[in-house]
Amino acid sequence: MTAAHEARLVAPAPGTTDPGPRDHADLAVWAPRATAVELRVRRDGAETVTTMERGADGWHRAPSVRAVPGDRYAYRLDADGPWLPDPRSLHQPDGVHGDSEVHAPAPDPSWTGRDLRGGTIYELHVGTFAPGPDGASGTLDTAISRLDHLVALGVDAVELMPVAAFPGERGWGYDGVDLYATHAAYGGPAALERFVAAAHERGLAVVMDVVMNHLGPAGNYLSAFAPYFTDTHETPWGPAVNLDADGSAEVRAFLLGLARHWLVDMGLDGLRLDAVHALRDDSDRHLLAELADAVASWSAALGRPLTLIAESDLNDPRMVTPTADGGLGMDMQWADDIHHAVHAWSTGERDGYYGDFGSAEVLARCVTRMFEHAGTFSTFRGQVWGSPVDPTAEGYDAHSFVAFLQDHDQVGNRAVGDRPDATTPLGVHAAAAALILCGPATVMLFQGEEWAASTPFTFFTDHDDELGPLVSAGRAEEFAQMGWSGDIPDPQDRATFEAAMLDWSEAEHGDHARMLAWYTELLALRRAEADLRDPDLRRVDVEILSEETVVLRRGRIRVLAHRGEGPIVLPDEGGAEVLARFDTDPETADADALALRGQGAIVFHCP
């Protein structure tokens, strides 16, 4: 950790808005445009309706009502509309259109947390990660049954794809509409608390994927209550979340409260913030900087690390620069360019945004500098892209960036959700994995990647009869425009969802078991070898032997990665020690020689 990052953890900037602890017995709602708001509470078969008191701040309160866990409640605006769920609801047991249910979180105060920078994160989708009996949808409780696998693999944290309540039972979660609530089909907030406790018992941190930049179309009632959105800015999903127009102070407090809910109230360890470049904010102080300082304050108060990870395509190191130095204060950001470089080099794909990637030279540049587009022309975007700041010259450490070979986007946004293993030889997968797992950045894996899972991960939804056909047609049209001539799995078809469920029996047999052993071995080396834990980008180098063969250098550790079909031999200068090997032909490979009979990788100590 750099000195600047340590300063960001202990010295938040003044003026941070902290929404403070929430009293879950106090039912209140911000509805500044409503003249009157009614509150309906159902408890033990009885129902009461109360006209709430309107304050000058636009908040409506009912001081005579004290809720208890299990109460169902809803709001009605100006007595002529439908009953609506609470924008800050923690549980929607009957779906996003039903009443809210009171829940009082109870996090474990004994958990001391984990610093995730430089560690290994495992991204999973609750519904497909650990299916229930007879192919039933996975839940947070069934996911607990697979946590020991992650511990044995060598993972430090679990990253859950969004669990905020969304329409239907199955989906990716990026169309959530009740952002504080845990999706009922996954077990609701009580199941999330059980999952977090089980993970913490095993020493695993839990990161939540949170979408602050937009809401889904079905069940999104925020605009009925208040100006949560603004036409001042546009996003790919329509009007932007209101961060800088009239009423934005309360919207910002709503999002800070969302972060506090997951990190403090529910006891999680970090947030992955979806597409932060779509958080359009012209305020003097960007929401991300405000959030970073608020989280630093909570971390200090709790006495445990709290982590913010940004998904950003801006290629700007300012994202992970401390707020005290004028940055946005994120602990880490996803490094898509590393993925693109390794993927294109190992698979040969050059379509779309892979067009500027694929060569060994670009691979070397991305592994050592994190970005390919750094004030350079992007042919995919048709413009100059990224910041010209050189992370190595400016002292940015590699642990501030998250590298991955697979993630939900890079697999799921393909036409048929195919993983690289579907078309790439096993040895090439092993070589690509070695470059990521032994590379300098923080590592992230995607569920099943560690055993070269054969199951695809395709986009799937469960919308109603009106929206569902539009989603299906839109998906087919999107890939038809890209020139895709094959069939597109219908996202509304339950079979598309079921096909994405992991087949855990694979991991025990054949090449799948061999790949699992390779991942486990590399992650063990990452923990054991000081050179592989070093975040200094200035001590990372890639030697290009040919377009098919590169050598990653990190201190005394070398990683030979070879995607060619022919053999490769390195001269042994004497004293080299092979630490790990994945060879196409393991039966005839020399365990000590710096040679591969075919595709694969060797990790070794250089004398």
The whole-angstrom separation of Cα 380 and Cα 382 is 6
436 is in an annotated binding site: no
91 is in an annotated binding site: no
340 is in an annotated binding site: yes
Among 274, 316, 356, 548, the one annotated catalytic: 274
Tokens of 588: 């005839």
Dihedrals φ, ψ of 417, to 5°? 65, 30
339 is in an annotated binding site: yes
Burial (CB count <10 Å: 0-12, 13-18, 19+), residue 152: exposed
86 is in an annotated binding site: no
277 is in an annotated binding site: yes
User: What DSSP assignment string belongs to 431-449?
Assistant: HHHHHHHTSSSEEEEETTG
Residue 545 is inside which H or E element, if any? strand 540-546
Spell out the SS3 assignment of 113-160.
Answer: CCCCCCCEEEEECHHHHCCCHHHCCCCHHHHHCCHHHHHHHCCCEEEE
274 is in an annotated binding site: yes
Reply yes or no on whether 274 is catalytic.
Answer: yes
Tokens of 485: 């001539």
337 is in an annotated binding site: yes
293 is in an annotated binding site: no
Residue located via tokens 């880490």 = 332
Tokens of 590: 């020399």
411 is in an annotated binding site: yes
- The amino acid present at 84, given as its one-letter code, is L
CB 143 within 8 A of CB 130: yes
SS3 588: coil
SS3 78: coil
Residue located via tokens 């500098």 = 369
Residue 446 is inside which H or E element, if any? strand 442-446
492 is in an annotated binding site: no
- The amino acid present at 247, given as its one-letter code, is G
Tokens of 578: 């092979």
SS3 507: helix
The whole-angstrom separation of Cα 441 and Cα 436 is 8
Characterise 187 by phi-psi region: left (phi > 0), alpha (psi -120 to 50), beta (else).
left
Reply yes or no on whether 449 is catalytic.
Answer: no
- The amino acid present at 348, given as its one-letter code, is G
Among 269, 290, 311, 397, the one annotated catalytic: 311
If one counts every other C-beta atom within 10 angstroms of the C-beta of residue 524, the result is 14
If one counts every other C-beta atom within 10 angstroms of the C-beta of residue 89, the result is 22
273 is in an annotated binding site: yes
Residue located via tokens 């360890």 = 269
All residues at 6 or more sequence positions from 155 whose CB lies less than 8 Å from its CB, including other chains:
120, 121, 122, 204, 445, 523
The whole-angstrom separation of Cα 28 and Cα 24 is 10
All residues at 6 or more sequence positions from 371 whose CB lies less than 8 Å from its CB, including other chains:
315, 335, 337, 386, 387, 391
DSSP 506: G
241 is in an annotated binding site: no
Tokens of 333: 């950001």
- Describe the crossing of helices 248-260 and 287-302 by its angle, rounded to 10 degrees: 40
SS3 499: helix
336 is in an annotated binding site: yes
Q: How far, CA to CA in Å, does 186 sit from each of 132, 143, 159?
A: 11, 10, 15
- The amino acid present at 233, given as its one-letter code, is H
- Of the CA atoms within 13 Å of residue 18, those in its CB half-sphere come to 16
500 is in an annotated binding site: no
429 is in an annotated binding site: no
Residue located via tokens 């960036």 = 401
Provide the annotated binding site for substrate. Answer: 272-277, 336-340, 408-413
Active site residue ranges: 274, 311
